[in-house]
């Protein structure tokens, strides 16, 4: 017994193939789904029984995901001036983000390199325009983008969508300043927490988040099954 597969409509339309998401359930039985090119499943790391069932059904472990949360104290946050991205920044942001996540779940052999790059270009473009995410904040030096971060707000919770720093500006505190700016923006929007997810092997990001006071809240595995 696993569950049911529901269509992932947006991803199917974007990537031009039929993609489904497995939703676990105690009642429905696993049924064949010959019409899906890819089925994805996100499962908590501690769900050993369900992970074993997935592997028995031919699902492959793709990557992990670790979720962190920043909470805001009553003390004021350090002031970091916002630099909001505009549509004029989109070409430079495309270059920054298209190759920033080579180990994300949208990677070969499940997705082509061109599909992966197109996905992140589209995401950051939509963030600048306030659709995928609400805002995109930048840090610039002499009109050159050093790094950028996108954030979306839902009720009292803010979540970082994308964060990337140009290779030429890494190890200069850019990520820390962008995170502080995102925290400041989220607090101004009356959010009580800011969330961000990364991969377990991204040790630099995890260290940065923890240094800034984030606590780990959850851990997941992503599994795929292709050519059903």
Nearest to 179 by CA among 216, 154, 206: 206
Specify the pLDDT at position 189. Answer: 94
Specify the pLDDT at position 27. Answer: 56
Q: Copy the structure tokens of residue 189.
A: 């929007």
Q: Copy the structure tokens of residue 42.
A: 């996100």
Burial of residue 10 (number of CB atoms within 10 Å: 0-12, 13-18, 19+): exposed
Specify the pLDDT at position 48. Answer: 94
Which residues, 6 or more positions from 56, have their beta carbon under 8 angstroms from its beta carbon? none
Q: What is the mean pLDDT of each run of 10 residues along the chain (228 residues)?
A: 85 97 71 79 95 93 97 68 92 97 94 98 97 95 95 96 96 92 92 95 92 95 89
CA dist 50 and 154 (Å) reads 30
Which residues, 6 or more positions from 121, have their beta carbon under 8 angstroms from its beta carbon? 94, 97, 98
Nearest to 224 by CA among 76, 72, 17, 1: 17
pLDDT digits (tens, 9 = 90+) for 21-45: 999 876 545 555 568 999 999 999 9
The bridge status of strand 19-24 relative to strand 38-44 is: parallel
Specify the pLDDT at position 33. Answer: 57
Contact present, 125 and 90 (Cβ < 8 Å): yes
Locate the domains of the chain by residue range: 3-64, 73-191
Q: What is the CATH number of domain 73-191?
A: 3.40.630.30
Contact present, 69 and 109 (Cβ < 8 Å): no
Specify the pLDDT at position 35. Answer: 86
Nearest to 195 by CA among 159, 151, 155, 152: 159
Q: Copy the structure tokens of residue 50.
A: 């369900």
């Amino acid at each position: 017994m696993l569950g049911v597969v529901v269509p992932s409509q947006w991803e199917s339309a974007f990537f031009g193939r039929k993609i489904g998401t497995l939703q676990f359930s105690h009642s429905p039985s696993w049924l064949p789904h010959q019409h899906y090119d890819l089925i994805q499943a996100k499962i908590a790391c501690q769900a050993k029984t369900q992970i074993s069932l997935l592997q028995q059904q031919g699902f492959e472990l793709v990557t992990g995901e670790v979720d962190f949360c920043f909470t805001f104290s009553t003390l004021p946050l350090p002031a970091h001036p916002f630099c909001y991205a505009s549509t004029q920044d989109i070409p430079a942001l495309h270059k920054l983000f298209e190759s920033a996540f080579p180990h994300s779940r949208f990677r070969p052999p499940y997705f082509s390199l061109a599909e992966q790059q197109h996905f992140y270009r589209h995401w950051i473009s939509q963030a600048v325009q306030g659709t995928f995410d609400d805002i995109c904040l930048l840090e610039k030096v002499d009109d050159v983008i050093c790094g950028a971060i996108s954030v979306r707000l839902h009720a009292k919770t803010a979540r970082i969508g994308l964060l990337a720093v140009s290779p030429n500006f890494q190890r200069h505190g850019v990520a820390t300043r962008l995170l502080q700016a995102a925290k400041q923006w989220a607090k101004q929007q009356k959010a009580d927490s800011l969330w961000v997810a990364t991969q377990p092997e991204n040790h630099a990001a995890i260290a940065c988040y923890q240094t800034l006071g984030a606590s780990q809240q959850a851990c997941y595995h992503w599994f795929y099954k292709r050519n059903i």
